Amino acid sequence: MKRFFSILSHLPWGVMYGISNVLYVLVYYLVGYRRGVVRANLEKSFPEKEDSERRGIEKAFYRHFCDMLVETVKLFSMPEDEIRRRMEFPPCPEVERWYAEGRSVLGLMGHMGNWEYIPSYTLHVPRHVHVIQLYKQLYNPGFDRLMHDLRERFGSESVEARKGYHTIAGYIGAGQQVAVGFLADQAVDRAKFSLDFMHRTAPVYEGAERIGRHFHCAILYFDIEKTSRGHYRVHTIPLTADASAEEEHTLTTRYIRLLEASIRRQPELYLWSHRRWKYAQS
């Protein structure tokens, strides 16, 4: 399977986006992949919009979703200089100061844009900083291994989320400075804290905040925007230089509000096919 995707990844971008255009027709019109989930999520998240507006977002989401699939395939052979052009990380003086001071940094993000390009962040931090991305294991072992290896292409380490705390504790305990990425908008059913997120009250993941408070980590938010087809810009927004100095729930609440703002700016970039609100209280 890896060999197949590696060969496919060498096709020109024009051909790949032609494949994406065909996929869009198949996925949206013929298969209707999770269209009911997407439609329900959009209706509840944007009650103020007309049906026609929501339908426009729906179609734009599926177009972006198919683009993201072929863009991820291109990662199998994409060189460093190209990923730097396609996933920009403009410098942030405050975050750069954190790294210079030896702080470990936790980055919070949502399923926005093409999150599979985020591991290239390792190309934008000091060489001595060990970059980790936490992920949820896929059901198919072969595909899980494939994605695990793909996410480590630019020098970061992929760690299954359940092992995240112990892995981070091990590195920090050994004196290693780390930068850890959290896709923190997963659906959770046992969280002790709930927030209003896009008009629905739902449990939210607080693992990053708890880890940050325990290890005195700095925390930032990855604000992802799409600048053109296949090109993204990620603004690193500082939340705190030391999570232990913040009141409980404060950082998680700020993260959710920032994610909402990102979604409202470019709603088609969010993963609406994800059952994020299946444990929502309203």
pLDDT for 189: 76
Do 90 and 38 have their domain in common? no
* Dist. CA 102–CA 89, nearest whole Å: 20
Q: How confident is the model at residue 282 (pLDDT cuts 50, 70, 90)?
A: low
pLDDT for 137: 83
* Dist. CA 242–CA 103, nearest whole Å: 9
Mean pLDDT (the chain) is 95
Do 32 and 87 have their domain in common? no
Q: For 58-64, what is the mean pLDDT?
A: 98
* CA quadruple 242, 243, 244, 246: dihedral sign: positive
Q: How confident is the model at residue 2 (pLDDT cuts 50, 70, 90)?
A: confident
Domain that holds residue 180: 81-269
Do 143 and 31 have their domain in common? no
Residue 279 lies in a domain: no
Q: Tell whether the model's pLDDT for residue 258 goes beyond 70.
A: yes
Q: Please write the tens of the pLDDT for every residue from 232-251.
A: 999 999 999 999 999 999 99
pLDDT for 280: 78
Do 190 and 258 have their domain in common? yes
Structural tokens at position 111: 């399923």
Residue 204 lies in a domain: yes
pLDDT for 138: 80
Supply the DSSP string of the chain, one letter for each residue: -HHHHHHHTTS-HHHHHHHHHHHHIIIIIII-TTHHHHHHHHHHH-TTS-HHHHHHHHHHHHHHHHHHHHHHHHTTT--HHHHHHHEE----HHHHHHHHTT--EEEEE-SBS-GGGGGGGGGGS-TTSEEEEEEPPPSSHHHHHHHHHHHTTTS-EEEEGGGHHHHHHHHHHTT--EEEEEETT---SS-S-EEEETTEEEE---HHHHHHHHHT-EEEEEEEEEEETTEEEEEEEEEES-GGGSPTTHHHHHHHHHHHHHHHHSGGGB-TTS-TTTT---
Residue 255 lies in a domain: yes
Q: For 132-152, what is the mean pLDDT?
A: 89
Do 116 and 245 have their domain in common? yes
Q: Which of 74, 109, 129 delimits the end of a domain?
A: 74
Do 117 and 234 have their domain in common? yes
Q: Please write the tens of the pLDDT for every residue from 196-216.
A: 999 999 889 899 999 999 999
Residue count of the chain: 282
Residue 131 lies in a domain: yes
Q: Please write the tens of the pLDDT for every residue from 80-132.
A: 999 999 999 999 999 999 999 999 999 999 999 999 999 999 999 999 999 99
Q: For 139-146, what is the mean pLDDT?
A: 85
Q: How confident is the model at residue 75 (pLDDT cuts 50, 70, 90)?
A: very high
How many domains does the structure of the chain reveal? 2
Do 27 and 158 have their domain in common? no
pLDDT for 187: 80
Do 177 and 250 have their domain in common? yes
278: exposed, middle or buried (Cβ count in 10 Å: 0-12, 13-18, 19+):
exposed
Q: Please write the tens of the pLDDT for every residue from 17-39.
A: 999 999 999 999 999 999 999 99
Torsions phi, psi of 109, nearest 5? Answer: -150, 170
Q: Please identify which residue in the block is written with the tokens 């480590």.
A: 152
Do 39 and 150 have their domain in common? no
Do 201 and 175 have their domain in common? yes
Query: For a pLDDT cut of 90, what percent of the chain falls above it?
Result: 85
